[in-house]
A and B are shown apart, each in its own frame.
Chain A
Amino acid sequence: MIRLLAAEANRLLSRRMIWAVVAGIIATAGLAGVTSYFGMRPPSAADVQQQQQMRDQVLADCKASGTSADDCAQQVTGMAQEVPTHDSVMKNADSMGGTIGGFLALLLGASFIGAEYRSGSLGNWLTFVPQRGRVFAAKALTVAAASLAIGVLAVGAAGLVTTGFLRLYYPAVALDAHTLGQAGRTSVIVMVQGLIGFVAALIARHTIAALGVMFGAQIIEQIVTGVAQTVRGAEWLIPLMPSVNANAFIQNGYKYQLIDLTKIEATGGPTFTDKILPFANGAAYVGIGLAVVLAGAYLVFRRRDVQ
């Protein structure tokens, strides 16, 4: 098994796709840098003065309209630029690293097996190593390790750059140790995405077909989620959606909303009800779902004729 893993790792690291992954991770770090630079930069003295003038003007207009002083004060509260917390900026960094890293892992996982089907080299490989269970395990483990590395690097790069800018601009802000856990879980989801790409390409026998299926599935999920949020009786579908569960796993529980449109006339707008999907649900869904998908893929791989 060790030699199979070594051979698969050698192949993976020799692929041109690995350079695209490296470029993607560097781009993630760059994007995090640009976003942090513009998003967290403390206002200049001129900006502060201008914001103060605007607040004074809004306050004056509010009072002139006969609104109470408390209500007017509340109106201008959100107009001041708040000092970001480490937790809030890291959520953005995780999201960015997870999104880009997830796409890169999906691409890498799908193309890793898709290229073997396209070139026909899988048949050649199996004439050297006919134990399909071991071959499948070696390929899946290689994709998992590479995808996890992509997740750690992409999320880590975005997180480090973001934290660096935060410390640069706001040295007094305390660093949040809990963000490490979230970053780690995001990396795990990136690994899962890599394996899902691998499985999709193994079943479709083609990289592009697999990517098409994955994007199609995402669109369908968004449509189903949108419908389930608004149609009464369909809300049970939401906890079954992959993204919702992935978010519950990453964010240690995920809050989503149900939208009630039946009371618009009475309330003047839709009514929102918050629901929470616990971390345990998300973790179980991701773990069991991945195991089922991998088991199904293995059965296909074991039984399928290789041309």
Chain B
Amino acid sequence: MTLPPGPRHAEAAAPTFAVRTSALKKTYKRGRIVAVGGLNLNVPLGGVHGFLGPNGSGKTTTIRMLLGLVRADGGTMEVLGREVPARLPEIIDSVGAIVEAPTFFPNFSGSKNLTILAQGIGVPTRRVAEVLVEVGLGGREKDAFRTYSLGMKQRLAIAATLLKDPQLLIFDEPTNGLDPGGIREIRDVMRNLGDAGKTVLVSSHILSEVQQVADTVTIIGRGRTLAEGPVEAILAQGRQSVRVGIADRDRAGGVLTSAGYRVVATSPETLRVERPDAAPDPAAVARILGHADLWPFELTLEADSLEDVFIALTTSAQPDRPHLPAAPFGGPTTPQGGAA
């Protein structure tokens, strides 16, 4: 199945996807622990892609496999159109990654750490000072890495990825442990990179953050794809309802039920109104109530957040429970989840 690219940079030439995996598998302890169990991941080229899943769902393991740090037991992986890990060296200069906590030599300064990296990849060492200024570490570059705050460590890690001027940036839980200011800073960095035509793959379990910054998402659970697609499409899979505030709650409930709506009383004067097959239209609800001479004082469209959808999906991914199908990018909703 050929899937169209992401929403913000649809004009990007081949390869169409920044990252693709098919039936990717990784187990530990001779197969007894399944970290990734047949994952299909499709990250469109350009924009910010959220890679979501609860702790232990296989996000970091997947990222490590993409970067050649961990060997896959099965399946295939492509990064920027090259099969990895075999052809990873061909595209590594176009890939910047921060996997979990930033890891540098603790006794070396930020500048020394980056200088060694720059030497290793053949980047002029003058670029080190430039990227340090870019991430706001200009005054602290001579301090030992171990003296940096968590936010500074993250910024140094971002500076390291910028040494390469990458087309694909992979951030694994980049806001872990950061204060609200730091979180916003990282979010802005990711958004700016995405808007500049780069592909940002960000794994996280802080969904409100991802919802604000991502164009597309993949939700995984127990090492398998549960849903993927544009954020709007994923959100559309969630529950949408109209909250109705009305004095004669019981009669309003009866009228709406007769009209085919599912109605739940949530307080003495409010109802939650849903349609089993589609999102309810507040105007239609108002019309039906008006014909019955019922006049609501509140009509509010309510939609599940990404977090609600995520919880629904990951909960339904538990064994013996059905889960929602994946929503391919721009295509019809078809069952596509994890292989195997």
Contact = CB atoms under 8 A, between A and B. Distances in A.
A binds B: yes
Interface of A: 3-4, 6-7, 10-11, 14-16, 115, 119-121, 123-131, 303, 305-307
21 contacts: A4-B120, A7-B116, A10-B115, A10-B116, A14-B112, A119-B103, A119-B104, A120-B101, A121-B105, A124-B99, A124-B103, A124-B104, A126-B68, A129-B92, A130-B67, A130-B88, A131-B89, A305-B69, A305-B70, A307-B69, A307-B70
**A-B interface, 3 closest residue pairs, ranked by CB to CB distance from nearest:** A120-B103, A7-B119, A7-B120
Nearest to B85: A130
Contacts of A119: 103-106
B120 A3 contact: yes
A6 B119 contact: yes
Nearest to B161: A127
Nearest to B113: A121
Contacts of B117: 7, 124-125, 128
Contact of B69 (A7, A15, A16, A127): A127
Interface in B90-111: 92, 95, 97, 99, 101-108
B19 to A, nearest CB: 14
B234 interface: no
Contacts of A4: 120
A23 B164 CA distance: 39
B160 interface: yes
Given A126-B68, A127-B69, A130-B67, A3 B119 contact: yes
A168 to B, nearest CB: 43
- Among A7, A15, A16, which residue has the most Cβ atoms of chain B within 10 A? A7
Contacts of B99: 123-124, 127
A124 B160 contact: yes
Contact of B92 (A11, A15, A121, A130): A130
A220 B107 CA distance: 36
A130 B89 contact: yes
Contacts of A303: 71
B206 interface: no
B119 A305 contact: no
- Among A6, A11, A127, A307, which residue has the most Cβ atoms of chain B within 10 A? A127
B122 interface: yes
- Among A16, A131, A306, which residue has the most Cβ atoms of chain B within 10 A? A306
Interface of B: 64, 67-71, 85, 88-89, 92, 95, 97, 99, 101-108, 112, 115-117, 119-122, 160, 164
A121 B117 CA distance: 11
A129 B108 contact: no
A22 B299 CA distance: 79
Contacts of A307: 64, 69-70
Given A130-B85, A130-B92, A305-B69, A123 B103 contact: yes
A306 B104 contact: no
A14 B112 CA distance: 9
- Among A3, A15, A128, A307, which residue has the most Cβ atoms of chain B within 10 A? A128
B120 A305 contact: no
Nearest to A2: B122
Contact of A121 (B88, B97, B103, B164): B103
Nearest to B163: A128
A219 to B, nearest CB: 32
Would you call the interface of chain B mostly helix, strand, loop, or mixed?
loop
Contacts, number: 79
Contacts of A305: 64, 69-71
- Among B97, B103, B160, which residue has the most Cβ atoms of chain A within 10 A? B103
A4 B160 CA distance: 17
A3 B69 CA distance: 21
Nearest to B70: A305
Contacts of A123: 64, 69, 99, 103
A127 B105 contact: no
B69 A129 contact: no
A128 B103 contact: no
Nearest to A16: B107
A10 B119 contact: yes
Nearest to B28: A305
A14 B120 contact: no
A130 B164 CA distance: 14
Contacts of B68: 126, 130
A115 to B, nearest CB: 7
A121 B104 contact: yes
Nearest to B118: A7
A90 B239 CA distance: 86
B116 A11 contact: yes
Contacts of B107: 15-16
A198 B327 CA distance: 50
Given A124-B99, A126-B67, 12 more contacts: A7-B116, A121-B103, A121-B104, A124-B102, A124-B117, A127-B67, A127-B95, A128-B117, A128-B164, A129-B92, A305-B64, A307-B70
B218 to A, nearest CB: 21
Contacts of A11: 105, 108, 116
Contacts of B120: 3-4, 7, 125, 128-129
A281 B64 CA distance: 45
A6 B117 CA distance: 11
Contacts of A124: 99, 102-104, 117, 160
A214 B95 CA distance: 39
Contact of A128 (B71, B92, B101, B105): B92
Contacts of A120: 101, 103
A14 B108 contact: yes
A129 B99 CA distance: 15
A129 B89 CA distance: 7
A3 to B, nearest CB: 5
Contacts of A306: 64, 69-70
A306 B121 CA distance: 20
B87 to A, nearest CB: 10
B154 to A, nearest CB: 13
